[in-house]
Copies of this chain bind each other. A is one copy, B any other.
Amino acid sequence: MPKSDIIVKMIFDKWNGSIKNWDTLLNELNDETLLKEIVPGKNRGIYLLGHLIAVHDEVMILLDLGQKLYPELYETFLKCADKEIIQIPSASQLREYWSKQCDTLNQKFSKLKTEEWFEKHSAISTDDFAKEPHRNKLNVILTRATHVVYHTGQLMLLK
């Protein structure tokens, strides 16, 4: 198997595994639990869920996959801290958004060929990419997978 195929599989195993672990945990927590702060004064579970959706919507743009699904979440979950939020979608609404977004991303990811994962993402210039070819589309998947893992470690503490 060519090394480029091996590495795309490695990164997507990590992405899929990270999403699966998050989902398993999310399904174990009811909506009431998601409204609790993980540690007094820190983010609530529901904030982490909305935050992941907002971050993964940015992936649509970074990878030229189309428009964001939930652009209205940007302000709430990327620009504001949990404590600053006044209005927030319900946990069941966010669960639905998340599930639909995961399906959409998977569908779009599956259409890219191995070579395309080594192309530049939309937030780096052609000149910079020539010097730093590791800042490719696959690296976006890697960094977002570890981002999911970071917050999974936190959400786990609500169990």
Contacts and interface: CB of A to CB of B under 8 A. Distances in A.
Q: Is the interface of A mostly helix, strand, loop or mixed?
A: helix
Interface residues of A, number: 32
Contact of A9 (B6, B10, B14, B134): B134
8 contacts: A1-B133, A6-B118, A6-B136, A11-B142, A13-B134, A38-B157, A152-B153, A157-B157
A157 B1 CA distance: 42
A7 B5 CA distance: 11
Nearest to A4: B3
A146 B149 contact: yes
Contact of A10 (B18, B38, B142, B157): B142
A151 interface: yes
A14 B14 CA distance: 13
A42 interface: yes
Contacts of A146: 14, 18, 145-146, 149
Nearest to A12: B134
